Chains A and B, each alone.
Chain A
Amino acid sequence: MSLSHSLRQEGGALVVALSGSFTFSEHNAFRKVIEEVTATQPKRVTVDLEKLNRVDSAGLSMLVLLRDRVGKGGGTVQLRRPPAQVARILDVVDFSQLFEILR
């Protein structure tokens, strides 16, 4: 299943809800997400992972890229509600050192 996303404001944060598979072949889809997010110059971004069914190292790289781009504008990125299989991946690479992860 390909990656899809939606953006909404929620309590002062820009929420990026991802669904589907976030893997190497989805880089163009997520590049669009990064462009849309950074265009709003947000101070707080929450990436909602609840409906994500798979992520690989390329997907992880893109999340770090989003963090770097938002960080350049003084903003922060947090991750929210990873499903079990995605949470395991985040734990394996110790993403809690890079992101606040709300479970």
Chain B
Amino acid sequence: MPIDRAIAWGARPPEMVPPSAPLGTVHLDPELQGTGNGALPWPWPPRRALLALALAARTVAGGLLPDQLTRWGRAHGLWAEDAAAAVETALAEALANAVVHGCLGLPGMAAFQPDPQAYFDAVDAGLADDRLARRPVFLVVRRCVRLTVVHVADRGAGFRPAVSGLAVSGLALTGSGVAGAVSGRGLALIRGLTRRMRLSDGGRRISLSFLRVEREP
């Protein structure tokens, strides 16, 4: 179902996900309204979601979301206080991948060598292009036994397993040519900062698991 036929639109609050936002919050970015931009990756709103966001790439690229999500999750005991830095970085990496590779369709910085500025310029140009910048990124948080699972999805081209195999499995990431490369560490970083990382839907969806805080009954 196209996005703009599946949702009701609302004004964006000053903070998309303030710590006070209750479990079960669903937020839909007004930037997506009217785009008809790809099909939703789950039944919407997703069942049993603690949080569900559908956001335009441009909104995600604003960079505020990882910090907001981390503080929101801490407020609800979804991850421990001392894990906050790792959670924030892992979320930022997953969201950046969804925007840069999934929505803007760009390769990593290494492909732009020897001029890395060309990479950043290409990102900026993509975000200035409404057609690309209004492509959707979906984020859903769910509870799973002792874990909190954050799914980040886009509607881009995904990964080809032959290309992503090393990074996905985490095998020899630093000993197989990635070590000295300028870029290509995002997935390794996510894998190292999460309890579990899983790619699905042809690389369009990444699921990050974090240990939940066990609260007294």
Contact = CB atoms under 8 A, between A and B. Distances in A.
Contacts, number: 69
A91 B173 CA distance: 12
A60 B174 CA distance: 13
Given A64-B180, A93-B188, A58 B96 contact: yes
Contacts of A68: 182
B185 to A, nearest CB: 5
B179 interface: yes
B107 interface: no
B85 A60 contact: no
A24 B96 contact: yes
A92 B189 contact: yes
A65 B174 contact: no
Contacts of A56: 89, 92-93, 96, 189
B202 interface: no
B8 interface: no
Interface in B94-153: 96, 109, 116-117, 120
Contacts of A85: 85-86
**What is the predominant secondary structure among interface residues of chain B facing chain A?**
helix
Contacts of A88: 85-86, 193
Interface string A7-46: 0000000000000000111011001000000000000000
Nearest to B62: A25
A65 B63 contact: no
B183 A24 contact: no
Contacts of A24: 63, 92, 96
Contacts of B185: 57, 60-61, 93
Given A56-B89, A56-B93, A89 B120 contact: no
A24 B117 CA distance: 12
B189 A93 contact: yes
Interface of B: 63, 85-86, 88-89, 92-93, 96, 109, 116-117, 120, 173-174, 179-183, 185-186, 188-189, 192-193
Interface of A: 23-25, 27-28, 31, 54-58, 60-62, 64-65, 68, 85, 88-89, 91-94, 97-98
18 contacts: A23-B63, A27-B116, A31-B117, A54-B85, A55-B89, A57-B185, A57-B186, A58-B109, A60-B185, A64-B180, A68-B182, A89-B193, A92-B189, A93-B173, A94-B173, A94-B174, A94-B179, A97-B174
Top-10 shortest CB links A-B: A92-B192, A94-B174, A85-B85, A57-B186, A57-B185, A61-B183, A93-B185, A27-B120, A61-B182, A64-B182
